[in-house]
Every structure is written in C-alpha cells, then in structure tokens.
Amino acid sequence: MERLWSPWRSKYIESFSERENGKEKVCVFCQKLAEHDDERNLIVYRSDLSAIIMNIYPYNSGHLLIVPFAHKGTFEELTDDENADVMRQTRLAIKLLRLASHPDGFNFGANLGRVSGAGIAEHVHFHVVPRWEGDSNFMPVLADTKVISEDLYGTLRKLTNALASVKTRQ
C-alpha cells in the first residue's frame, strides 16, 4: 500500500485544536460560541443546545459543522436531548444547503478521537459536506490542491438567506 505524506495536516490539527490563553487551554468551538459574533465566526444558526457553524477549512463549499454547546469530548457523553438536537440541526443544515446550493448528495458524520482524523477531538462535532456529481477532479490528486469555488462569507449569505426563507414558511 502506498502512503501519501502530508505533514501539513498535523500542523493544521495542532494549530487550532487548542489555543493557549495564558496557562489555560481554550476550545476554539467554545470560544466562538461564547463570543456571540455569529457573522465573524461563521455561525449560521443557534438552537438551545447546538449551533450550525461553517468549517473554515472546508472539504467543499458549504461544509458545515454541527457543534453541541456543551464541551464534551466523546459521543457517549452527549445527553439524549443533545443527540436529538444534533439530528434536528443536521436536518436543518441539509435543508439550508439544498436551498442555497443544490448539491446532489451529502457526506454526514463525525471523526471521533484524534486517531480517526478529528482536528478538534476535545469537543465532539459533526460534519455535513455537500457533494456534487463530478466535484472530485484531478487537482487534489496531481497538485495536492483542493479548489473551493466560493468565498466563505458568500456561502454564509446564501445560507442565512435560505434560513430566512425556511423561517417564513413555518
């Protein structure tokens, strides 16, 4: 089996999974959620128990994260209410992405633990990645480059417009 060497990935993981704040380590999700500056932090929606946040290092345009407010490192620690809320927010995220960017499908899941690929392992979160027919091309394979075709704030505007549309229909 051939292995692709990508040392940038470990630097990426270490760069934002924990940040020093004096001697105390601060979770990037907890910090973003506490700031209540949703546009700057790319927070699309907040429920009582979780938030839909845009991934600042997306695999595809519109890559969203469902982040419970409670700082918990494992899936098993989430309460039944938190789990149910994550599923409600996942459903909303998919609905917003369908309205905003019309993907052909989605990847949904979580990387539980650092060895599974979790960049922020200390705060469990879930990924919703929109997919389109033919969205994989030669760039990642030959040039080690992923092309993200839309500005994050442009995507945020599309998603918040879709959210306003969903709210007016209810």
Taking each helix axis from N to C terminus, what angle separates 152-169 and 80-101, rounded to the nearest 10 degrees?
110
* Greater pLDDT, 9 or 50: 50
Q: Per-residue pLDDT averaged across 66-88, rounded? A: 96
In angstroms, the CA 64 to CA 167 distance is 19
**pLDDT: which is higher, 30 or 121:** 30
Q: Residue 82: is its pLDDT beyond 90?
A: yes
Domain ranges of the chain: 14-169
Mean pLDDT value of segment 148-165: 82
> Over 90: is that where the pLDDT of 39 sits?
yes
Residues annotated as catalytic (active site), given as ranges: 125
As a whole number of angstroms, the distance between CA 164 and CA 167 comes to: 5
What's the rounded mean pLDDT across residues 67-89? 96
Adjacent-strand bridge partners of 106:
130
Beta-carbon count within 10 A of 80 CB: 7
- pLDDT tens-digit map of 15-35: 544 444 444 577 889 999 999
**Whether residue 109 has pLDDT greater than 60:** yes
* CA-to-CA dists, residue 85 to 49, 54, 68, angstroms: 6, 18, 8
Of 3.30.428.10, 2.60.300.12, 3.90.79.10, 3.40.50.150, the CATH number of 14-169 is 3.30.428.10
- Spatial CA neighbour of 157 closest among 28, 54, 88: 54
pTM of the entire predicted model: 0.75
Q: Is the pLDDT of residue 96 over 80?
A: yes
What pLDDT does residue 46 have? 96
Q: Is the pLDDT of residue 54 over 90?
A: yes
Give the per-residue pLDDT at 23.
47
How many residues would you count in the chain?
170
Cβ-proximal residues to 105 (8 Å cutoff; 6+ apart), any chain: 130, 131, 132
